[in-house]
Each structure stands twice: as C-alpha cells, then as structure tokens.
Amino acid sequence: MPRITLRDPWGTHYQIDTKDTEILRAWFAETLPVVNAHYGERRTPPATITVMPMFSSGADDHADWHVDSFVIGKAYPFQAKDGAAGMLELEQLRKLQQDEMDEIRARLGGT
C-alpha cells in the first residue's frame, strides 16, 4: 500500500507509510473515527486524503499506486469512519484516479 496522508477539517495531518494492508486497516480503524469526527459541528466537511506511491525496489517501475502527474499529490474527500470502510474507499479512490487519468488522456489525444 502507498504513503497516505489524511487531513482533518481543522488542518491536522495524520500519515502512514506501509505496504502491509492489515497495518493500514488497523491504522484506519484507529485514525478515521478521530479524523472524521464532527465534535458537535453541524456542517463539518469530510477529511481529505492524499496518496503517494511507494516503490518496492526503489525503481519507478514498481510503484504500488498511480504515479501519473495528473493525479499524484491531489487531495480527495475521504468520508470513511472505520477500517473496513477506509480500505473500501481507498480502492474506490484508486479506480476514480484511473478514470480521471483515462479521461484526461482521451482529451489530450492519448498522451
């Protein structure tokens, strides 16, 4: 799994770098209830997530996440509130980014 940074609505950042999905799921289970808590506020926006690739061998050709400059480093809303929901939303984000890259490439003529 990649390097993940969550930012809560008040600007606090939480970060993890791990390739172990069970560690990530446990981190989500511990962190997401805090990151997406509303603390009595009525219109609190969701946290945001930024995902950066990690490389298994130090080479660019073994990235575990998208490395395309169209999506790398972009913050996305992340509403999950527990570990299982976090893992599911992360997979949905991967698909969303792929769709975004495909759409941009199509508009640019397949670059």
Alpha helices in the chain (DSSP H): 21-35, 83-107
Give kind and range of the element (H or E) at residue 17: strand 13-17
Separation between Cα atoms, residue 25 and residue 23, nearest integer Å: 5
pLDDT tens readout for residues 41-97: 778 889 999 988 877 765 556 777 777 777 888 899 999 999 999 999 999 998 998
Would you place residue 100 in the very low, low, confident or very high pLDDT band (cuts 50, 70, 90)?
Answer: confident
Residue 101 and residue 70 in contact, taking contact as beta carbons nearer than 8 Å: yes
pTM: 0.83
pLDDT for the residue 37: 84
Domain limits, the chain = 3-107
**Strands 13-17, 76-78: parallel, antiparallel or unpaired by DSSP?**
unpaired
User: What does the CA dihedral 45, 86, 7, 60 come to, rounded to 10 degrees?
Assistant: -140
